[in-house]
Structure 1
Amino acid sequence: MGVYWAIAVRSFRRFSTYRIATLSGAFTNTVFGFIFCGVYLTLWHSSPGLGGYDVSDALTFVWLQQGLLAPIGIFGATTTMELGERVRTGEIAVDLYRPTQLMIWWLSVDAGRAWFQLLTRGGAPLLVGAIVFDLNFPSSVGQWLAVVVGLAFGILVSFGVRYLVALSGFWITDSRGLESLAMVLSLFFSGTILPLVVFPGWIGAVARATPWAATLQVPIDIWLGRNPGGTTSGLGFQLFWIVVLFLAGRLATVFATRKVVIAGG
Structure 2
Amino acid sequence: MGVIPWVSWYALRRYSAYPLGSMAEAVTNSFFGVVRAGIVIALWHARPGLGGYDTADAVTYSFLTQSLIGPVQIFGGMELAQRIRSGDVAIDLHRPVNLQAWWLADDVGRAVSTLALRGLPPMLVGGLFFTMRLPGPGEAAAFTVSVALAVLLSFALRYLITLSQFWTHDERGVQAVTLVLSLFLSGMIVPLVAFPEPLGALARALPCSGLIQVPADVFLGRRAGGALLSGLAFQAGWAAALLAAGGLLTRAAERRLEAQGG
Q: Take 1:264 and 1:88, find their aligned partners in 2: how far apart are those partners?
A: 14
Deviation at 1:264, TM superposition (A): 9.8
Q: Take 2:84 and 2:140, find their aligned partners in 1: how far apart are those partners?
A: 39
Give the match for residue 113 of structure 2.
116
Give the match for residue 105 of structure 1.
102
- CA distances 1:217-244 after superposition (whole Å, capped 9, x unpaired): 1001011122496211110110110111
Match of 2:236 among 221, 236, 239: 239
- CA distances 1:48-100 after superposition (whole Å, capped 9, x unpaired): 000000011001101100000011110024xx2x1112112211000001000
Q: Are 1:221 and 2:217 counterparts?
A: yes
TM-score using structure 2 length? 0.95
Deviation at 1:262, TM superposition (A): 8.4
One-letter identity of the residue aligned with 1:87: I
Q: Are 1:33 and 2:33 counterparts?
A: yes
One-letter identity of the residue aligned with 1:23: M
Q: Please give the residue correspondences for 1:26-175 in structure 2 after superposition, counting only pairs within 5 Å.
A: 26-77=26-77, 80=78, 82-139=79-136, 141-175=137-171
2:19 and 2:117 in contact (8 A); partners too: no
The percentage of counterpart residues that share the same residue type is 46
- CA distances 1:173-219 after superposition (whole Å, capped 9, x unpaired): 11111111111111111111100000001111111111110011100
Match of 1:179 among 175, 178, 198: 175
Q: Take 2:223 and 2:171, find their aligned partners in 1: how far apart are those partners?
A: 34
Q: Take 1:254 and 1:200, find their aligned partners in 2: how far apart are those partners?
A: 41
Q: Take 1:215 and 1:34, find their aligned partners in 2: how far apart are those partners?
A: 21
Deviation at 1:2, TM superposition (A): 3.1
Q: Take 1:127 and 1:63, find their aligned partners in 2: how far apart are those partners?
A: 9
| Root mean square deviation of aligned Cα | 1.7
1:225 and 1:231 in contact (8 A); partners too: no
1:90 and 1:264 in contact (8 A); partners too: no
**CA gap 1:91/1:142 in 2 versus in 1, 3 angstroms:** same
2:65 and 2:188 in contact (8 A); partners too: yes
**CA gap 1:264/1:192 in 2 versus in 1, 3 angstroms:** farther
Deviation at 1:142, TM superposition (A): 2.5
Give the match for residue 197 of structure 1.
193
Give the match for residue 13 of structure 2.
13
Q: Take 1:125 and 1:106, find their aligned partners in 2: how far apart are those partners?
A: 28
Deviation at 1:260, TM superposition (A): 3.0
**CA gap 1:264/1:136 in 2 versus in 1, 3 angstroms:** farther
1:88 and 1:264 in contact (8 A); partners too: no
- CA distances 1:95-147 after superposition (whole Å, capped 9, x unpaired): 001000110100011110100110111011111111222211112x3322211
Runs of 4+ in 1 over 2 A off after TM superposition: 260-265
For structure 1, the 5+ residue unaligned runs are: none
One-letter identity of the residue aligned with 1:2: G
1:173 and 1:264 in contact (8 A); partners too: no
Give the match for residue 210 of structure 1.
206
TM-score using structure 1 length? 0.94
